Amino acid sequence: MIKKAYRTIIFLILINSWGSVAQTVDAAAFDKQFRSFWSSTISELNEASFSVKKLKTQIHKGKNITLYELNSYANIKIHIYVSEPIKEGKYETRIMFWPFGKRDYSFDWFLKDGFMQQRNTINVRVDNRGQGLSRDVIPNERFILNGIGKKETYVYRGVFMDVVRAVDFISEHKKSNGVIVVFGNSQGGMLALVASALNPKVDIAIVRIPFFAGIEYYNRDRWPMDWILSTSEYQRGITQKEQLNILAYYDVKNFAKLLKIPVYIGVGENDPITPYRAILKAFSNIKNSNKMIYVVSPCDIHGFKSNSEEKISALFLKNELKKIYKDKGIE
C-alpha cells in the first residue's frame, strides 16, 4: 500500500515540476469570480462582531471542557466545544470538523471522546449550522440540498463561514501558542481544507477522503450527485449544467488553489462516494510543495479498514510541526 502511495506522490511532483497547462480565458475568469465571491462573503461575516456565550464547562481528567455558543454568518448560532489543559502554559490547537452522520449530542459524550482527551493540546470540535447541537437552526433533513439552487443561498456558504469563524475564535484563546492544525474526514475533510484556504491562521491540514473534491468526477448515478441533479432538474427548474456551475463555487478543487500550508490527504483507491481521481484533481491544484497524498489499496468503502494510513499521516504531521515550531521560534 505504501509503495503505491509513494508512486502517486512522485508522479504528482513530476507533473508540478514540468509546469501546468495554461488556463483558458474562461477558467481564469472563473477563478477571479470564485475569489471575489468568497472574499465578499468573508467581508459579510466580519461585519458581525463576535457574540460568545459559555453554555457549560466541566473538568475531566486534567482538561477543562467547555461548550460555547457563537454567532456566525447571517447571525446564525453555532456551537463549539473546547478542551484545554488545566495546567497553565501555551499549547498547540487542534480542530476536528465533523463528517455527515448521526451521533450522540450530549455533553457527556465529549468527556469520553479520545480526540478531546489528547494531552498537552487545545482540542476543538465544531458543530456547524445544521449539524450537531446547531441542527435546530437549519433542518438536517436533506441538508446538502438546502438553498442549492443559487450559489448565494446554498447552505454551505454559511457552513464554510462557520469554520472560518471557529478558527478565528479559537486563535484568540489565552493558552494558544499560535499553532493551529485542522483535521477531518469526508465532509469534515472538506471543511478542514476550506478553513485552511480561507483562514490564514491555519498552519497544517490533515484530511481524509474530502467530500465535494473534483465534483465533475462524481458518479451521477450514485449519492450524492444523483440526488442533487435529479432534484435540481425537477424541483428547481434548472439544468444539470447550471447546477454543476453553482457547485463549482463549493468544489474543494477550487479552494485547493488557495492553499499555502502543508496538506496531507488520505484516500481510498475505489471509494464509492468520493472518487480517488476526483480527490487527485484537487490535490494537483495545491501549488504548495509541502503536500502528500496517501492511497489506501485495496479499499472499496468510504473510509479505511486498517490504521496504516494513520501512521503515515502522523509521521507527516510530526515532520511538518517540527518545521513550523522552528520557523515560529516556539519551544
pTM assigned to the model: 0.90
314 domain residue, yes or no: yes
Sign of CA dihedral 123, 129, 131, 133: positive
Nearest-10 Cα torsion for 245, 249, 251, 255 = 140
331 domain residue, yes or no: no
Q: Report the 10 Å Cβ neighbour count for 135.
A: 17
> What CA–CA distance (Å, rounded) separates 273 from 208?
13
189 domain residue, yes or no: yes
Ordered per-residue pLDDT tens for the chain, 331 residues: 333 443 344 334 333 333 333 345 588 999 999 999 999 999 999 998 899 999 999 999 999 999 999 999 999 999 999 999 999 999 999 999 999 877 888 999 999 999 999 999 999 999 999 999 998 777 767 889 999 999 999 999 999 999 999 999 999 999 999 999 999 999 999 999 999 999 999 999 999 999 999 999 898 888 888 889 888 776 778 888 999 999 999 999 999 999 999 999 998 877 777 888 889 999 999 998 899 998 877 666 667 666 778 889 999 999 999 999 999 999 8
Q: What is the CATH number of the domain that holds 254?
A: 3.40.50.1820
| Structural domain range at position 12 | 2-17+24-325
> What CA–CA distance (Å, rounded) separates 129 from 140?
9
What pLDDT sits at residue 302? 64
141 domain residue, yes or no: yes
Contacts of 130 (CB under 8 A, 6+ apart): 137, 138, 139, 140, 143, 146, 155, 159
What pLDDT sits at residue 223? 85
61 domain residue, yes or no: yes
180 domain residue, yes or no: yes
330 domain residue, yes or no: no
Could you give the number of structural domains in the chain?
1
Cell 469570480, residue located: 33
